[in-house]
């Protein structure tokens, strides 16, 4: 029996994973939570064979969650299932799949990781100690917004210039900060220059 802990803040996707693994007799779901903090409160008692987690989550993001898991529960396998296809790592996790991955590929990946100690990655992997981001993870609109932020435009000014709502700009900003793993404007500019998004 392979025991699984699932963490994802999108209820529909979480329910889908529960359905997938509940229908297979060789799997047992130890817990299914929509935040990393809730998962951490369950993991000590449940201690699953593998954790399936997203990266983009409220309160504590997946990268922080993974660091804690690897420090406190190094024997637990980690499979990241995300919508972002430009993230690569082989040091801290055991697998990475896109959310569009089909059911059988997901099941096979979990089996391979737990039973055969395999690494399962979607696409090319490189030997980096942390998640790598390339500028292609950003949409064209996000790159435009980064450029305007770098020129010290306010959210209101960017909304007017791009003819979109302030709320839409705020959503883009949140996604940009998450994708580039930065916490403030200074960090955003530094990472954007490093990636060549702005000169």
pLDDT digits (tens, 9 = 90+) for 78-102: 999 987 655 554 457 888 888 888 8
Q: How far is CA 112 from the centre of its chain?
A: 21
Write down the pLDDT at residue 43.
93
Write down the pLDDT at residue 126.
38
Segments in the chain below pLDDT 50: 89-90, 123-131
Structure tokens at 2: 């392979």
Write down the pLDDT at residue 123.
44
Write down the pLDDT at residue 84.
66
Write down the pLDDT at residue 182.
81
Whether residue 78 contacts residue 92, with contact meaning beta carbons closer than 8 Å, is answered with yes
Write down the pLDDT at residue 187.
83
Which bin fits 36, alpha (ψ -120 to 50), beta or left (φ > 0)? Answer: alpha
Which bin fits 117, alpha (ψ -120 to 50), beta or left (φ > 0)? Answer: left
């Amino acid at each position: 029996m392979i025991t699984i802990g699932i963490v994802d803040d999108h209820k529909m996707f979480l329910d889908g994973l529960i359905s997938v693994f509940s229908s297979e007799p060789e799997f047992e779901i130890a817990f299914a939570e929509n935040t990393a903090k809730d998962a951490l409160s369950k993991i000590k008692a449940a201690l699953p064979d593998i954790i399936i987690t997203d990266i983009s989550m409220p309160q504590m993001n997946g990268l922080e969650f993974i660091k804690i898991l690897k420090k406190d529960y190094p024997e637990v396998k980690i499979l990241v299932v995300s919508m972002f296809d430009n993230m690569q790592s082989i040091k801290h996790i055991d697998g990475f799949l896109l959310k569009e991955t089909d059911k059988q590929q997901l099941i096979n990946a979990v089996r391979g990781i737990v039973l055969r100690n395999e690494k399962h990655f979607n696409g090319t992997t490189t030997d980096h100690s942390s998640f790598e981001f390339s500028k292609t993870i950003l949409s064209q609109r996000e790159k435009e917004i980064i450029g305007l932020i770098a020129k010290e435009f306010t959210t209101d000014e960017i909304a007017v210039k791009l003819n979109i709502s302030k709320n839409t700009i705020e959503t883009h900003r949140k996604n940009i900060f998450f994708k580039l793993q930065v916490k403030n404007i200074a960090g955003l500019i530094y990472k954007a220059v490093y990636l060549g998004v702005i000169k």
